Chain A
Amino acid sequence: MAERLSLFMRTNRWIWPFLGVLILWIILASLTARFSLHSLSGVAISASFLLLPALGQMLVITTGKGNIDLSIPGVVTLSAYLSVYTATGSNTGFVVTLAVVSLIAGLIGLCNAILVLLLRIPAMIATLATGYILATATLIVNSQIGLFTRPPALGFLAAGRIFGFPVICVLALVAVAATALLLSRSAYGRKLFAVGQSAEAAYLTGIRVAPIIASTFVASSVVSGLTGVLLSGYAGGAFLEMGTPYLLQSVGAVVLGGTLIAGGSATALGTLFGGMLLVMIVTTMQIAGLPPGAQDILQGIVVISVLSVAGTKMRR
């Protein structure tokens, strides 16, 4: 029995962040009267916005070789501005917005993939450099935008509720379910995990490695773009630092969730709980009245210590 439990814990790494969320919630609920179901819904909404880019980041990290997408904050911010820029206030206009953002974000992802795969620039540098160019693009769009008229459909998606349940949370859950399904039940998922464990072995097994890696960069960029659109709907506009938190938090959610930083294994459910745990930690710190500085420190420490502990889990 104990053996089966330990096997279950090992093969389902999402259980750890899930326990973390549970424990933190119990502690908070018993310690403070303020931390109610209502504040949990606040946590859920913040976590939902984090989840899309985190899932994208997870796919990129899973390809191994130290791949990581640092252009996520740039894509989020630019897309939020594009959403404001292209908004006409109508739902038809919103469809155009979605198309434009998906196209541009997809192209950015493709650029990242080309830099990494063809020019063999390390992913971290390539995506950092793309992020720089995106920063300028954002400034240019910024100088062009006027007043934001939010399309009703965007308002519903980003800030609406169904039966009192935030729509954005539903979206996030759907995204998690779809990603989990893709990873565990499709040939794509198996190929991706194979590439992440050993690109050489994957190539010799007959997997076409480059398209798999390229697809993760494109996916990461597109979901980050959609997040930017949703964020603009939630915040009612765009601002320059909008995407910044998603840099560390997307990596943090992935790592906390039990996805291996060295690649080859990922869990969408883990990333869901990892994201929630991270947001809860931040919320707790805010409720506890910790200054923003201490919040930064704690986030950094959490990510590093989880890595130090989990780093040896690789059975290589």
Chain B
Amino acid sequence: METGLATGAGALEQRAFLSLSGIGKSYGHTRAAEAIDFTITGGEVIGLIGANGAGKSTLMRILAGVTEPSEGSVTLCGEPLNLATYSPRVARDVGVRIVWQELSLSPNLTVAENFYIEQPQLGRFSPFWLRDYHRMASEGIERIFPGTNIPTGRLLAELSIAERQIVEIARAASDPNLKLLILDEPTSSLAAERSAQLRRFVKSLARSGVTVIFISHKLAEVLDVADRVVAMRNGRLVWQRGAEEASVSDLISAMSGAEAGEVGERRHSDPDAARPVLAMIGTGLTGSPGRSIELRAGEIVGVAGLEGSGQRELLQKLFASRSSVDVQRSSDRIRYISGDRQREGVFPLWSVLDNILIGRIARQSSLAPVGRAGLRPRAVELARKLALDDARFDAGILDLSGGNQQKVLVARALIDDLDIVLLDDPTRGVDIAAKRDFYKLVRQIADAGCLVVWHSTEDLEFLECDRVLVFGSGEIVAELSRDEITEDNVVAASFIQPIHSNAAERNRGGGGGPAIVRSIPFVSLFAVFATMAWLNPVVASGFGVELLLAPAVTLVLIALAQMFVVGGSEIDLGIGAFAGLINVVSATLLVTSPLLGIAGLACGLLGYALVATLIQVRAIPAIVVTLGASFIWTGVGRTIQPSPGGGAPDWLRDLFTRSLPGIPSPLLLILVAAVTAYMIDRSRTGTVLRAFGSSPLALRQAGWSPLRFSIYRYGIACMFAMAAGLYVTATNGASDINAGASFTLLSIAAVVIGGCQLLGGLIAPLGVVAGAVTLSLIGALLASLGVSTDYNAAVQGALLIVILGLQAIALARRRHG
């Protein structure tokens, strides 16, 4: 600690808004935060700096209630805080808001709807509730970033990264109850002018009594905006000073501050141009050096830069193929070791030994016999070299600490001959002793004649390298070698921007659902109907419409039910069978004893709530649960009524055959269903349901209950399917349990044709209605064209595949375009 935290402690204590004492956090064997004492006063701007992995994010997650600290205590406005119950929701209630570095907006919602997700307490119960949020959004954005003019009705997916960042900041800052605003890298994609606007706003917020924590790698900005600057290193607060007294170079040395003894002796391999070139980086990636870069055997090449500047992409390109536009390599014996061991490293079900051996098995021909016992000695030998205890070979891989898991991955890479090793931030979550072992090991690998390409997010690690390539905005902006490699130099080079920066344009998002996908259902409905009317003019008459649309109503209702499930990125394989069951219940029980019938319908609703609960609580895939449920629905229906028959209650028949003058009753029903579904989708609940479909984690962080909304979702689906079952009873005057099943796939097809996406919570009620009507008209169209109805199913199936294929192609083009 340079300047005492204790100076004027008495005065601070009085105005203290939040104070942390002795906060620490362990993840397994790693310490992410250590003995943090920190006091925040009202109306202060704190600049928080630190190298990647210094523990800033952990500290902020603790403040936001997302992470519970392992030890220590927090006092809020003088009151001790119960950390066990301190959730994101509570944090919000006391006025703590955070803008995450990985933005937490829902891409399938509009700007205004995203404001609702963050500030639901201001919603009115009214069909026009969203208007308030449009106003709040445009005012909130205008207040901080005058002149941006982001349309508040636009989907987030259609905005550029910079615009999304603006929305995220404005959304968090729009809380009228705001006390503490945490901004984690808020200006990473903002242009200079917008960044200046934000800093002006932060200062004015502080004047009004709100505390702001400003985390940034842009050190000049930190000095400009902050009252005091705090630096973190290795999970500790190590330095703080008033912003007026500090300079950028002070901050850089505070962040790096290489402690004596931390760095092992540096031992670079001799430069040797005679060594074979194993890989080459083409001029497409080397903006500043402007020539291709050769990587040789025996070298350790570091890949540095601010996070996400193109380092990982380089590794992935090198791994993907021998020769691509930007990189070439001359050997196929290449290994990739990822630091994201959970996702990209370990095979969680396997033992340590199996996790090692797969490195060799992966390169054998598929039909080769595998004798695991025969491979064991080689693995034991390797383990000795890596100081990995081979007594634990039969333990589950997840029982090992991060450092040991990491050794397993290295052993996996080394168990077969190799020329090139790609290290992707390999020491993430590994304790300091294990890191040192690892550094030695990497040097040994290189000395054995391998090329090591090492991407790290810890700048200190580049001291182990022979050469460092520094990335900025997707290009190599500097190449450091030998004595030029110091932490200061790496940090300084990371802030170089390429001359022709095209980052802003590159990040521009494409259209949400391409207009062509959205218009498919309406165009095809029109085409089918027009063809039929042309073949037979009676179709266009009121009577013709009634005749044609009557069978379509069932599918429309079931498809809308399916749509709400698809909105949650799930699928209900039992929805058709359920409609069939309701058909049976209403044609039998509801006729003979209405009370029993209504109880039966209520049981159906209960069954759906149960299905929703099972899916959420036990985390079982929805398709299997609903597939199982479909058999239960069918079974119950068959038990109630073994063979088709039954009747329809008169009131039900009347209800579903109402018509308005000029509008045939099936058309009326379809319109009512469409409007109802549209209203539900646009309601506040519907908005949250859609948001869950695309970003369940962000929603949970915002304090929404996944279980409650899962039950709502299946409840709504159940109601629509119920309406379908009742409609069949009313119009057919009889029931058949087997009639419903075929609607399940048709409903999925209608949903897909209607322009919804199976993943990501993008749904379109009106499109689904048009899609459902089109699908049910296909049979009639084929008949009027003289094609056998045998082809019905094939046409429907093919249509489904074609449309999904088109969507896939459109999506792929959007990603790459």
Give A residues with C-beta under 8 Å from B: 66, 68, 115, 119-122, 124-126, 128-133, 135-137, 139-140, 143, 185-191, 193-194, 197-198, 200-202, 204-207, 212, 247-248, 251, 255, 260-262, 264-265, 291-301, 303-304, 307-308, 311-312, 314-316
Contact = CB atoms under 8 A, between A and B. Distances in A.
Contact of A191 (B361, B752, B792): B361
A273 to B, nearest CB: 19
A261 B363 CA distance: 27
Contacts of B367: 186-188
Contacts of A194: 347, 358, 362
A159 to B, nearest CB: 29
B344 A200 contact: yes
B631 A205 contact: no
A7 to B, nearest CB: 9
B758 A125 contact: yes
Query: 4 closest pairs, A vs B, by CB?
Result: A132-B797, A296-B635, A293-B638, A136-B794
Given A201-B344, A291-B642, A190 B398 contact: no
Contact of A185 (B349, B366, B369, B800): B369
B630 interface: yes
B350 A197 contact: yes
Contact of B632 (A188, A301, A315): A301
Interface stretch (B76-84, B619-627, B668-676): B619-627
B763 to A, nearest CB: 16
Contacts of A260: 349
A130 B343 CA distance: 32
Contact of B625 (A120, A197, A307): A307
Contacts of A262: 621
Interface in B603-641: 614, 618-621, 623-625, 627-632, 634-640
11 contacts: A68-B623, A125-B758, A187-B366, A191-B362, A193-B347, A194-B347, A201-B343, A251-B624, A264-B347, A300-B629, A304-B629
Contact of B628 (A126, A206, A294, A307): A307
B319 interface: yes
Interface stretch (B1-9, B466-474, B801-809): B801-809
B38 interface: no
B507 interface: no
A296 B631 contact: yes
B805 A206 contact: no
Contacts of A133: 793-794, 797-798
Nearest to A111: B801
A293 B631 contact: no
A296 B801 contact: no
B748 A128 contact: yes
Given A204-B336, A303-B628, A190 B358 contact: yes
Contacts of B793: 132-133, 135-136, 139
Contacts of B90: none
B638 A197 contact: no
Given A187-B366, A187-B367, A300 B635 contact: yes
Contact of B636 (A131, A200, A255, A293): A293
Interface string B348-389: 111000100111011111111110000000000000000000
Nearest to A195: B347
B136 to A, nearest CB: 37
A137 B798 CA distance: 12
B745 interface: yes
A22 B237 CA distance: 64
B649 to A, nearest CB: 23
B647 interface: no
B628 A304 contact: yes
Given A194-B347, A206-B335, A206-B362, A300 B797 contact: no
B732 to A, nearest CB: 20
Contact of B791 (A121, A131, A136): A136
B618 A307 contact: yes
A126 to B, nearest CB: 7
A245 B749 CA distance: 23
Contacts of A314: 348-349
Nearest to A136: B794
A251 B630 CA distance: 14
A198 B409 CA distance: 14
Nearest to A128: B745
Given A248-B627, A300-B630, A307-B625, A205 B797 contact: no
A58 to B, nearest CB: 14
Contact of A300 (B343, B363, B623, B632): B632
A207 B632 contact: no
Given A185-B370, A201-B345, A312 B618 contact: yes
Contacts of B637: 293
A301 B633 CA distance: 11
A303 B347 contact: no
Given A130-B797, A191-B361, A261-B620, 12 more contacts: A119-B801, A125-B752, A131-B745, A132-B800, A135-B794, A191-B362, A201-B344, A207-B358, A261-B621, A293-B634, A297-B636, A300-B632
B349 A293 contact: no
B565 interface: no
A169 B350 CA distance: 33
B623 A124 contact: yes
Contact of A264 (B349, B358, B630, B790): B349
Interface string B667-688: 0000000000000000000000
A316 B347 CA distance: 10
B348 A119 contact: no
B794 A304 contact: no
Nearest to B806: A119
B635 A297 contact: yes
Given A115-B801, A133-B797, A304-B629, A186 B369 contact: yes
A295 B635 contact: yes
A296 B618 CA distance: 23
Contacts of B365: 187
A92 B778 CA distance: 43
Q: Which of B348, B618, B792, B797 has the most CB of A within 10 A?
A: B797
B801 A186 contact: no
A119 B623 contact: no
B558 to A, nearest CB: 15
Interface string B754-775: 0000110000000000000000
Given A136-B794, A197-B349, A315-B349, A293 B642 contact: yes
Given A308-B614, A308-B618, A291 B638 contact: yes
Given A139-B790, A188-B366, A191-B366, A304 B349 contact: no
A190 B345 CA distance: 16
A304 B613 CA distance: 13
Given A121-B801, A198-B344, A187 B361 contact: yes
B359 A311 contact: no
B95 interface: no
A129 B797 contact: yes
B758 A122 contact: yes
Contacts of A308: 614, 618, 620
Contacts of B361: 187, 190-191
Contact of A137 (B632, B794, B809): B794
Contacts of A303: 624, 627-628, 631
Which of A205, A264, A296, A297 neighbours the largest number of chain B CB atoms within 10 Å of its CB?
Answer: A205
B536 to A, nearest CB: 24
Nearest to A135: B793
Interface string B214-238: 0000000000000000000000000
Contacts of B346: 198, 201
A221 to B, nearest CB: 16
Contacts of A140: 790
B282 interface: no
B631 A119 contact: no
A251 B195 CA distance: 56
Contacts of B335: 206
B165 interface: no
